[in-house]
Amino acid sequence: MFLDTSKKKWIIRDLEIPVTENVSMKDMKWFREKIKEAAAREQAGDLTQAEALQTDEEWWEKTCEVGLGVSVDDILESGVTEPEFRELMAEVYTFLAIYGTIERAKQSALYEVETRKKEGKLTKTTQNSKN
């Protein structure tokens, strides 16, 4: 797990980064513009594989900058694997675009279960098979 809602930090192996909350719409506009541009180019059929990979790199760098306050190189130095990195980028972007704050993330089923596990508050439920 990357986002630790109780510590309000992103945990990436031994690297701990404070969560940036309430990112401005101005900062998020870059992402919307990139999505629109890529969709238009893909629909027109003029997006090369090299350009798509370059866009990925730009996206990751902006996600790290806006969401984590560090560079991609800082994350790579943590020893993170390629699958972990991709998962992290998706989680950071989802946090920025959907949740925005720790409190909203805690209300999500995704983080609610993790928060309860960490706090040792999971409760056992049973289902009565008799009707």
Domain-located, residue 86: yes
Q: Which residues constitute the domain of residue 77?
A: 3-44+52-119
Total of domains in the chain = 1
Cα separation of 34 and 39, whole Å?
Answer: 8
Question: Helices in 16-97 by DSSP H: which ranges?
Answer: 25-44, 49-63, 72-76, 82-94
Decide if 129 is inside a domain.
no
Q: Is residue 130 part of a domain?
A: no
For residue 7, being part of any structural domain is answered with yes
pTM for this predicted structure: 0.78
pLDDT tens digits, 80-119: 999 999 999 999 999 999 999 999 999 988 776 554 455 5
Q: Over the stretch 47-83, which tens digit does the pLDDT of each residue have?
A: 888 988 898 999 999 999 999 999 999 999 999 999 9
